[in-house]
Amino acid sequence: MPESPPPRLDEIDVQLLDLLQHDAGRTLHDLGEQIGLSPSAVQRRIARYRKDGLITRQVAVLDPHRLGPTVLATVLVTFDQESFEHHRAFSERMRADPQVQQCYRVAGPWDYVVVLAARSMRDCGRLGDRLFKADDNIKRYETLVVFDTIKTALALPLPAPHPTRPQDGRP
């Protein structure tokens, strides 16, 4: 199925999406004040973003340190043999495990970069054994334990807004 073209975003769309990426819990009133729209106009735009698939979901981001001990680790994975079936099975296993926070198929000497969250070093080791050591097609994996989180973000750079036409009908 071909990808749909990117949506045409005006300056207000870009501002609103930027605000939502940084804090989607803000009220419609607050968002509207920031961009110069009524709460109902903001709500209509957000509904359009969801309908168009631009906003796929909203989540609460928890502070892992407030929940007690949390070990974060990045795992670099290389396959022994590459096939569509191996990639499909690996991807499904990564998506299904709640302790896999992120997973990227990458170019270069590694096939995947996986970010894990565990309750302890022991839990992290067991998780690695279960996800990677037990897979006969994984030639090598290397676990890098995170000592300190410098930045965590999900906000994407937004495209430049499309120019809008003047309201008097002139081009």
Q: Within the chain, which residues score under 50 in pLDDT?
A: 168-171
- For 161-171, the pLDDT digits (tens) are 887 655 544 44
Q: What is the DSSP string of the chain?
A: -PPPPPPP--HHHHHHHHHHHH-TTS-HHHHHHHHT--HHHHHHHHHHHHHTTSS----PPP-GGGGS--EEEEEEEEESS--HHHHHHHHHHHHH-TTEEEEEE-SSS-SEEEEEEESSHHHHHHHHIIIIIT-TTEEEEEEEE-S-------PPPPPPPPPPPPTTS--
The pLDDT tens digits for 93-132 are 999 999 999 999 999 999 999 999 999 999 999 999 999 9
Give the pLDDT of residue 99.
96
pLDDT of residue 64: 75
> Which CATH fold would you assign to the domain 1-61?
Arc Repressor Mutant, subunit A (1.10.10)
Read off the pTM. Answer: 0.79
Q: Enumerate the CATH 3.30.70.920 domain ranges in the chain, comma separated.
A: 64-145
Q: Where exactly does CATH 1.10.10.10 map onto the chain?
A: 1-61
The CATH number given to 64-145 is 3.30.70.920
